[in-house]
Structure formats: C-alpha cells, structure tokens
Structure 1
C-alpha cells in the first residue's frame, strides 16, 4: 500500500510547478481588491521591519492599519469610509509619525475607494479628505504626510537661503515629517503657500490613486461584459449546432421514413411476384426501423446535450470520434443513401473522386461536419422533392438518372456537386408541408469556413455546387 501511494503521489517538483501555475493563473484573473490588499500588506510589513514603530501607541496604530488593509476584500465600502475617517481622526491626536498618519494604508484604502465606490462617492471622498487634511494641518496643527513634506521642504529651502532666521531654521532639518510640520506652522509668511500646495498635492496623489482603482473597475466590468457576450455567443452557436443536428438527422430521417412508408403501400402494384413483394416490403420495414432508431438516438443525444450530460462535440462528429477516414465515412453514407433511394424507386448516380491513400488529407473536424451535413441535406432534398407517380416510382425514367451526385476530395478542398430533375410540387412529398431553411443554414456554415455554396434552378433542373477549403 505504501509503495502504491508513493507511486501515485506527484513528485515534489511537479506539485510545486502546479502550485506556481495556479498562482499565476489566479494573479492574471481580475482580483483587484485581493491584489491591492496583498501589496499593501507586504509594504506595511516591510515598513515595520525597516522603520519599526517607536512606541507602544505607534505599534497599536500599525497593527490597526494592517487589520484594516487585510479586511478590505471582505467589507470594502465600510472599511474605505472607516479608514479615511480614522486617518483624519488619528492625525488630531498628539502622536506624530508615519504610523500614526496611516502611511501606506491610506493609499491602499483610496485604491479600493476607486474600485468599489459609486462615481459620486469616488469623486467626493478624495476631495473631502484633501480639504479636511489640509485644514487640520494648517489650522489645527494636526499630522499630515503631504503637509509635513511640503512644510519641511519650504523650511529647508528658507534655512539655506535666508539669513537671520529663527533658531528653528538654524537647526538641521529632522528626518521625520513632524519636524517639517512644526517648521511650517511656525512660519506664518508661508501659511498660504503651504495650504495651497498641501491641498493640491494631496488631491493629486489620492485623486490619482482613486482614478487608478476606478480604471481597474472599468476594466473588470468590461472583461465581465466581454465574458458574458462570449458566453451568449457560445450559447447561440451551441443552439445553432443543435438546430443543425435536429434538422440534418431527425428531420431528414423523418422524411425518409415517410417516403418509405408511402412507397411500401405501393409495393406489388407493378405485378411482381409475391415473394419479391414480401422481400421488398421487409427491406423497407427494416430501413424504417433503422431510420426511426437513428432519429430517436439523435433526439436523446440532443436532450443529453441540453441537460449537460453529453458534450456537443461528441454528437457532432461520429466518424471523426471513431477514427474513420473522411473518404470512408462519405462512401459508407452515400452507399446507404443510394440503397434507400433504390427502395423508393428513385434511381440515381453517386461518384466519389478521392486522392490516393498516401496523399489523403487530414480533413479538419469542422470541414468534415459541414461536408457530411450538406451531403445529408442533398439526399434529404432529393427524397422530399422527387416527383412520384401513382405507382410510387420516380417520375423520371429509369434509363435517365433522377439525380447525380459528385464528390471530389483532394488535399486542397472538398467539392460537392448535385443535379436532379424538378417537377410540379403537387406530385412530391412536400405537397401541403412547410419547407425548411436547411440550405441557408449550410450556406452560412460553409461560408464561415471560407467556402462557397451556390444553387440554381434552370429548365426544370436543380443544380447545387459547394466547395469547402481544407
């Protein structure tokens, strides 16, 4: 048992590669809030290592900001509002420094604001935060990251360019932003400049972060719409394929069954022997039985596809799934169809021209399906539109073929041509029945593959020509 378990377990390298592939796949998916939280949390941890909190109160604030950042994917809107309010409230406390003001956490929060908030809220929140942060910094001497940076820069510039300044300016600039805050508020001649610069830069920084998050949201929504559209197109294509299956197999089988039943009623009307009549009737009944079962099987397959128990590809290409060469599949089908036509009293000719076995092309599944469906439709139309006389035989004399089908398969294309005689519809099986749109469906499918399908009716003759490139 142990040996089996060891053999069945994936090697460590394969497991690691699988995990790495899953991680890369997840990262390329639209998980913006989770990615934002991961990056923000990593930066906060790095900052705690590089610039650890200087007091227990700063340590408490550091863990508080990390908690807010980690919780963003679970309650994004609530924590976005709470985080911005908390950042403004903490700045009023007599605690200064990066950890007290929020630092990276507030940037992470505004990225989430742009992603999860409605448009009006995403515009109002950075504006309100910039105004309140600037007013608190200038008027109330509260902590501010950007305000402290600007005040420190102005103070340093003034210290280097002005003589006779206060002792504060004579001292070297401290490394912390709070020193810049204190210098800034001790220079009333620079208050207006600091106010405007702090307001504009704060609005620019957090407005940009908000716009960045909003851009990701629009991208995510566009991807979701594209995915829905792709799903709808796939569903429409699937339904169209099922319609093809029903039309090409079920409807065509029903037409053949109806014709065979009609023909069986007239067997023996030509004065043949009883044994010959019995054999012909038995052959027709066997053909009806086979066709009915084939149609029933196809209906069950369509139901299984709709219920999700069967894949559409398994229904579309029986010959391809069984590994049967395309030319063999065509030959078997046309032989069976010619046999049915003979039972119906419709005498025709089918010829297949194919490349040598050594140069027989590998026909793609899409071309195989389109060609086989068109061949099925051709024979079904011959059955439907064949003129029938009172005896049940084809109206065309036996010495002249009622139809001619030519199929050419080579390395470049599949070419299908068909000619049959036309007659008054009142003498055909279609009298009193609704016509379908089979050829229109086949034309669309063939043109989608780069091929052509042309039909015409001239001088009582129906002509069809199709070419499907490989």
Structure 2
C-alpha cells in the first residue's frame, strides 16, 4: 500500500461510544503539555543551569509531540526519544551536582511514561518490545558517560516505561479480544436467525405439500376411477379424465422434488430429472385441453439444465396466467435460438390475445403477483432479461432472453 493509499489516522479511543471517553486522550495530552513545557524550561535553565534557548528547544521537542501521540504515537516517540537522549548529552556539558538527577530529570520521565501508555494502546507487541529495548539500550549506553557528581538513576525510566507499555498493551489486547467476541456473537446471531428462517420455510413447505398433496391425490383418484364409477362415459370425456390424472401426478412429483431440496436430505430426494425444453410441449397440450388454443413453435437446441428449467418455468407460469386471467384467449408460444455478436441466446416468447366473445370473469380475481416476480428472478439467475406487459389491442406479452454458454453454440 502506498502512502497515498493509507487510511487516515484515528485518535486513541475514537471508536468509543461516549464522547468524554473519545476526548480523554486529547485532554490528558493537553494537560501534560501545559504542565511539562514550562516546568521543563524552568528546571533545565534555572536548576541545572542550561542555556535558556537550548532548554526551551529541548522542552518543546520533549513535550509538544505528546499531542501527536494521540494519533501517531510511534512518530511522536521518535521525536521525544531523540530529544530525551539529546537532553541527557547536553547536561553532560554542565557541572552537575549530586542533587541533580541524570540522565533524565523527573519531568522527562513523566512525559515518557505518558507516551509509553499511548504506544501500548496502539502498537503491536513487536513494536512495543523494540521500543523498550531501545529505551533500555539508551540507558545502558549513557551509563558509560555518566558524570561523577550527579545521581544516576538510569534504570528508573527503563522499569517504568516497561510497566506502562505492558499494562497498556494488555488493555489493548483485552479490548480487541472483547471486540472480536462481540463480532462473533453478532455473526452467530445472524446465522441463528438465518437457520430459523430456513427451518420455518421448510416447515411451511411441508405443510403446503400436505395440504395440496391431499387434494391433488383426491383429484387423481377421482379422475382415474371416473370410467368405472360413471356408466356410459363418452371416450373423449374419458381421455379428459385420464389427462387430468396425469397432470395431477406430474404436479405431485414436482412438489416432492421441491420439498426434497428444501429439506436437504441426502439420499432421500427425488432422482427424477428437472423438466426442460422437451417438456414444454406437454404444457401446451395440457393448456389446450383446458380450452385455450395455443400455437406452439418448439426448439430442439442443446441447452444446459439451468437454462432449460428456466425456460420451462417461464412458459408454465405464463400459460397458467392465461388460463387464470384470460380463459379461451388465443396464445402463441415460441422457443427459438439465435446468435448475435458471437453470443447465443434462447428466446422464450408467450403472447396471448384478448379472450373471444364478451369479457368473461377470470378464474382468479386478485392474484398474489408472485408469478411475474418468480419469472424475473429465474431470468436474473440465468443472466438474461425479461420483458412483460399488456398489448395495445388487449392481451399480454412475456418475452425472455436467456444467454447460452459456449458449449451451447454448437
């Protein structure tokens, strides 16, 4: 990632929900700067005897970056660490007394501890270890040039900074662990909700199957037994009952296949193939037997199972809408394959005109409107397009374009 692509820095506790917690790091850094800056200048210049200009420069370098530490603690550490070491070396030019603490006066230790807390709350374990090793190394190196008169307490900063880094790092890791646990609980809750929804859908599907299967079974039995129960049944009427029974059996088979998919039971689902282009002719025949004249133009293209199933369902729903909402209307069903600009498409077209004679009451007055939604979803899953709408002279048009894969071009 280039520097231009880096995410903007976030202040410490910027993700806290309470405003005072978000402002707390800025308040602490401001108080440290206001308190330590004049104190450092006064102690270095008046107590230690350092030139006021040098003391002021060192004080600014040792305290002002504490405000930067709220956002970029590691960069602030580079400046403050270098300024503290430079201040210790600058004090070597003075005639230090035994009452003077060296290499780091108390106000520098306070500022460095605050910086260590900010580092622990932001940086990784490896970075914190390197920071502590650099601090300890600087203290050990300064021991070799320690003045004879001053009180050298180089281990104090090493110990206190290590404790601050350790505590702040532990707090940060604890917070990260709690955050990840909360995220995992949120994901688990979403999965539980999704599983509950799927179980409810499966339960509804089973109940729907039980209700519809009972009535379809009754229709099948009555249609099959009509020839034996009714005396003098004309042959054409007998064929109509036989067709009704066959359609009812086919509907039951499809319902059991769908239920098997919803229940997701391995080894217990229906093994019959899904309907495709070859089965559209049976839909047309069943529709004609219901009194709707249908002109059918078939297509024997070699398509995938998904495309064939989508085409079958589109024609099935379109013809069902004709029977429900425009009984007796002349209908045209056309399935064709075309190649344009190197891509092959399967075109499914179902067009019905207005019903003959005076307007008849449709079989269903309302309707759920889910038929067109289901067709559109199937077309979108196949990557195609769907165009539906009423015709100017009456009737309705359903046109679907389904893309074919490269293997279907032959």
TM-score by length of 2: 0.48
TM-score by length of 1: 0.43
Larger relative helix fraction? 1
Bigger relative contact order, structure 1 or 2 (CA pairs below 8 A, ≥6 apart): 1
